Amino acid sequence: MLYAIISDIHGNLEALDAVLAAIKADKIICLGDIVGYGPNPKECLEKIKALNIPTVAGNHEKALLGEVDTKWFNERAKLAIEWTSTQVDLAAIKDLPTVGEEAGFHYVHASLRDHVNEYMMSISEALATFELMTKPLCFIGHTHRPGYLARKKDGFYESRSLHDGDELLAYDFDRLIINVGSVGQPRDRDPRAAYGIFDTQTRLFSLHRSSYDIQQVQEKMRAVNLPQKLIDRLATGS
């Protein structure tokens, strides 16, 4: 079975549409943060729901619900959440789980230790999740940077960034955490939307990027007075 794994759409409808058009998979899974930062949170939520895509909550959904304190957000993120709260029906996100499982893997927005808030960007930060994994593979988002953190079969550890077209064989590792990056707001210096494809038969994961009309999204953001820094960074993926 082919799974497409998407994350961190952040109200970017053009990026979401580009990814959905490119995906060829049997099932799509979303790792949260459908909202926040971008100009079309309502439309992105509606599209994910219409396609019956299993989704876990991210920290931006939890912030809208008042379950994550926005004191941990920077000022731009706070302003975006305040605006997003005027656009979104909270009923659309209130029942989202924070962790999910499929045959052979877990999926969560941030980590298995802290489902919506923890940033895993190093082996030391991943150790707790390795211990909590009851399956050999876990998909995450949250950092907006594609890559993987792994415990190898010899007991040593490995971590690397992932780029467009990179492939990874899950069989090669004892425990493997894969970050699929961000659809709507990449931060790895590649502005294209990111997503992953996982083949359960071969256990092969591949990272993919899709171009979209960034200027159109930026124009929408300006029209609703979202922070300029959020507008600018779309073009650089930073």
Ramachandran quadrant class, 56 (left: phi over 0; alpha: psi -120 to 50; beta: rest): beta
Helices 41-50 and 13-22, axial angle in degrees (round to 10): 30
Phi, psi (deg, nearest 5) at residue 193: -65, 140
Of 97, 85, 78, the C-alpha closest to 31 is 97
Burial class (CB in 10 A: 0-12, 13-18, 19+), 69: exposed
pLDDT digits over 109-164, tens only?
Answer: 999 999 999 999 999 999 999 999 999 999 999 999 999 999 999 999 999 999 99
- Residues 4-37 have pLDDT tens digits of 999 999 999 999 999 999 999 999 999 999 999 9
pLDDT tens-place string over residues 198-237: 999 999 999 999 999 999 999 999 999 999 999 999 999 9
Upper half-sphere CA count for residue 93 (Cβ side, 13 Å): 30
CB 18 within 8 A of CB 184: no
Element housing 214 (H / E): helix 214-223
Q: Is the CB of residue 175 less than 8 Å from the CB of residue 139? A: no
**Domains with residue ranges and CATH for the chain:** 2-236 (3.60.21.10)
